[in-house]
Structure 1
Amino acid sequence: MAGRSGKNTRAACARRIGADRRHAVIGATTQHKKRPLLNILVSFFLAFSVAMIPFPPWAEVYRPDLVSVVLIFWCVYQPARVGVVSGFASGLILDVMLGSPMGQHALAKSTIAYLASRFHKRISMFPLIQQMIVVGVLVFLDQLISSVIRGMLDNYAINWKYFLGVFVAMLFWPWLFYLFAHLRRRSNI
């Protein structure tokens, strides 16, 4: 009988260890699922913070639209988590932060989010130079939509200097691409 109870305790101990391992794996999986969302939210927070930094009047035309660049990145590389709804929400937040008419940036951001999500497989396969061009086209479209809406509401004439920020946004793309790619690898996104 002593031998049987020894086997039973070993089996019970093995079951407990197996259960502990399963709980540890489940906890780790849950933690990894929360981390990508945190990275996405922090990147948007930083982009919104840069959008609020005051620039001198002469440098205002060179302001990159980093919210659009971050939105495009996450729509291309995380289309299941970031899409049109995220674009609309980020546009509304930008409308409130900048005091622009409600929906001006929301329409523009949701449009580029749709296009980036729709063609995410193609864009992700492009070399970095072609991705920069696609980002430039999408940011240009974003600013064009915002300018047209602003022109209809405020009788505002479109100034082509306003689009110089597109080139600066294109230059930011490789840096943000490598930074976010590093974050994606570290977070197992």
Structure 2
Amino acid sequence: MLKHGTFTLILTYLVALVLMVMPMPAAFDTFRPDWVTLVLLYWVLAIPHRVNMGTALILGVLSDILLGSVLGVHALGMVVVTYFVARHFQRFRNFSLPQQAILVAFLILLKRMIVFQANVFIHDAEFTASYFWPAFTSAVFWLWLFPLLRKIRRHFKVA
């Protein structure tokens, strides 16, 4: 039997995975927020006893499969970022929403740097400045996503 709220967790992960691969105009695709990492960060903050690095590993591998990247590249980035948030979740919770958004920008930037360095190591990826725009847009969307997911968590009593 599934724990209470597990369906809600899985549904939010699926929505984030769909948003990650949903077609967008080329001009906006550069600015696509890192939806999966944002949703993962929220749940690690909200219920760290249920969402942890194992969840990050699974979501990272699913991201690698959906994006067609080398298996484990996104998983590595998500696990590192999740470890940092899980380790300091009580401190993170005490920050105001704008402060959390700034920290989220740095975490997404860290994840993207890890993914980029892994891609450089594997197949000589080339750097473009637009590679880091999602860190900024993710921080902006955190201001909207955090209250939305908190409302969903409270409505469906996810604990």
Q: Which has the higher helix share?
A: 1
Name 2:125's counterpart in structure 1: 156
Following superposition of structure 1 onto structure 2, how do residues 59-138 of structure 1 map, counting pairs within 5 Å?
Answer: 59-138=28-107
Residue 185 of structure 1: how far off its partner (Å) = 1.7
Could you say what secondary structure the match of 2:26 adopts? coil
Comparing 121-130 and 148-157, the one that deviates more? 148-157
CA contact (8 A) 1:135 1:170 kept: yes
Q: Distance in 2 between matches of 1:147 and 1:108?
A: 10
CA RMSD of aligned residues (A): 1.4
Contiguous gaps of at least 5 residues in structure 2: none
Residue 160 of structure 1: how far off its partner (Å) = 1.6
Q: Which amino acid aligns with 1:72?
A: L
Residue 58 of structure 1: how far off its partner (Å) = 2.3
Question: Which of 5, 16, 24 is the aligned partner of 1:55?
Answer: 24
Could you say what secondary structure the match of 2:59 adopts? helix
Question: Which of 13, 20, 23 is the aligned partner of 1:44?
Answer: 13
Question: Which of 105, 113, 125 is the aligned partner of 1:144?
Answer: 113
Which structure has the larger Rg?
1
> What TM-score, normalized by structure 2, do the two folds share?
0.94
Contiguous gaps of at least 5 residues in structure 1: 1-29
Residue 57 of structure 1: how far off its partner (Å) = 2.4
Q: Does 1:185 align with 2:158?
A: no
Following superposition of structure 1 onto structure 2, how do residues 7-22 of structure 1 map, counting pairs within 5 Å?
Answer: none
Q: Distance in 1 between matches of 2:27 and 2:142?
A: 23
CA contact (8 A) 1:148 1:158 kept: no
CA contact (8 A) 1:64 1:168 kept: yes
Counting matched residue pairs gives 158
Could you say what secondary structure the match of 2:30 adopts? helix
Could you say what secondary structure the match of 2:27 adopts? coil
Name 2:142's counterpart in structure 1: 173
Could you say what secondary structure the match of 1:59 adopts? helix
CA contact (8 A) 1:112 1:141 kept: yes
